[in-house]
């Protein structure tokens, strides 16, 4: 059996194990795990073919990056769908910092201006920005619901909305940035991140891999902070009504992660019907 087949089978076995364990523990996540794994398999197969095409026709890289931002915005915005225009806001929060940082890195010559360098770098930055956007946005909505009385107290004492929600926004941004900070702090000790592993597996020297990884990791910190700031600002602005009031949206069904993924429309055991 070739190594390629063994790799795929091993990956599928791990996903199957995770789904079975989730089912055994009644976490209600087994379909999400299977769907996520199936999507990953399909998406990576397609992306492998696409990137091969992009390496031959570099102009396609622009379209590919736009598609990445769009997909990230749809994913993150979907998690924040309680907020009107969430996908547009997520697109700005993800796209602006990730693309700006990539542009800056290319401008100063940190990476070659080739699709082979640009695509993985911008992909990592978009992925980080997406995670920060989703985490910050969700935590902000939860925090506003939990602390709404405190927010209204501050408004009653003469604060404007921006000041009244500031403690909640700060808490949400901290939550949104914890993974990035932990990843940066523990790099090399707990984890060997993707860029490093990829470069070493691809034949680069460990020193080159470490240097490249450092650039990406530290850029990620700034990108994720900016993404968290942009999505918080957008959500607060969206929830601000005339008269310095905060109007909370009704929670969207998928805000709790309870949405049935499309290819598995059957009922969750013990869950709501429909």
Partner 1 sequence: MKSVLGIDWESRRRGRLTYDRPVTGDGPRGLIATDVWLARGGRDVLRGATLAVPPGAVTALIAPSGAGKSTLLRCLNRLLEPDRGTITLDGVDVRELPPRELRHRVGLVGQAPVMLDGSVRDNLAYGLRSPLTDDAAAAALTAAGLDDTFAARSAQELSGGERARVALARAVVRRPAALVLDEPTAALDADVARQVGATLRSLAAEGLAVCLAIHDVPFARAVADRVVGLDGLPVPS
Q: Which positions lie near partner 1, rule CB under 8 A?
A: 84-85, 88-89, 92, 149-150, 152-161, 234, 237-238, 240-245
DSSP state string for 192-212: --HHHHHHHHTT--HHHHHHH
Q: Which is nearer to partner 1, 48 or 243 (CB)?
A: 243
Cβ at position 159, least distance to partner 1 in Å: 6
Cβ at position 154, least distance to partner 1 in Å: 7
d(Cα 240, Cα 235) in Å, to the nearest integer? 9
| Spatial contact of 218 and 187, defined as CB atoms under 8 Å apart | no
Cβ at position 43, least distance to partner 1 in Å: 29
Burial of 38 (0-12, 13-18, 19+ CB in 10 A): middle
Q: Which is nearer to partner 1, 147 or 183 (CB)?
A: 147
Cβ at position 244, least distance to partner 1 in Å: 4
At residue 246, the 3 state secondary structure works out as strand
CB under 8 Å to 268, separation ≥6 — which residues?
A: 28, 31, 260
Q: Which is nearer to partner 1, 94 or 161 (CB)?
A: 161
| Spatial contact of 105 and 71, defined as CB atoms under 8 Å apart | no
| Spatial contact of 130 and 223, defined as CB atoms under 8 Å apart | no
Cβ at position 77, least distance to partner 1 in Å: 12
Cβ at position 30, least distance to partner 1 in Å: 34
Q: Which is nearer to partner 1, 72 or 155 (CB)?
A: 155
Q: Which is nearer to partner 1, 85 or 198 (CB)?
A: 85
Q: Which is nearer to partner 1, 23 or 166 (CB)?
A: 166
DSSP state string for 132-149: HHHHHHHHHHHHHHHTHH
What are the structure tokens assigned to 157, written together? 């004492």
């Amino acid at each position: 059996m070739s190594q390629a087949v063994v790799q795929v089978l091993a990956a599928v076995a791990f996903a199957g194990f995770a789904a079975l364990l989730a089912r055994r523990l009644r976490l209600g996540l087994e379909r999400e795990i299977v769907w996520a794994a199936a999507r990953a398999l399909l998406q990576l197969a397609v992306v492998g073919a696409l990137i091969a095409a992009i390496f031959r026709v570099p102009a396609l890289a622009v379209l590919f990056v736009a598609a990445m931002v769009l997909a990230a915005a749809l994913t993150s915005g979907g998690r924040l769908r309680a907020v009107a225009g969430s996908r547009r806001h997520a697109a700005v929060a993800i796209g602006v910092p990730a693309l700006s940082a990539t542009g800056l890195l290319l401008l100063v010559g940190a990476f070659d201006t080739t699709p082979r360098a640009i695509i993985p770098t911008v992909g990592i930055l978009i992925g980080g920005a997406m995670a920060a956007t989703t985490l910050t946005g969700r935590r902000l909505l939860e925090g506003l619901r939990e602390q709404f009385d405190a927010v209204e107290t501050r408004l009653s004492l003469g604060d404007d909305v921006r000041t009244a929600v500031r403690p909640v926004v700060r808490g949400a941004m901290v939550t949104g940035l914890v993974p990035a900070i932990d990843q940066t702090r523990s790099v090399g000790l707990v984890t060997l991140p993707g860029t490093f592993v990829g470069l070493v597996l691809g034949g680069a020297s460990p020193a080159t891999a470490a240097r490249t990884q450092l650039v990406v990791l530290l850029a990620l910190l700034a990108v994720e902070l900016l993404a968290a700031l942009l999505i918080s600002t957008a959500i607060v602005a969206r929830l601000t009504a005339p008269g310095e009031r905060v109007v909370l949206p009704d929670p969207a069904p998928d805000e709790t992660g309870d949405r049935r993924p499309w290819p598995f429309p059957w009922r969750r055991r013990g869950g709501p019907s429909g």
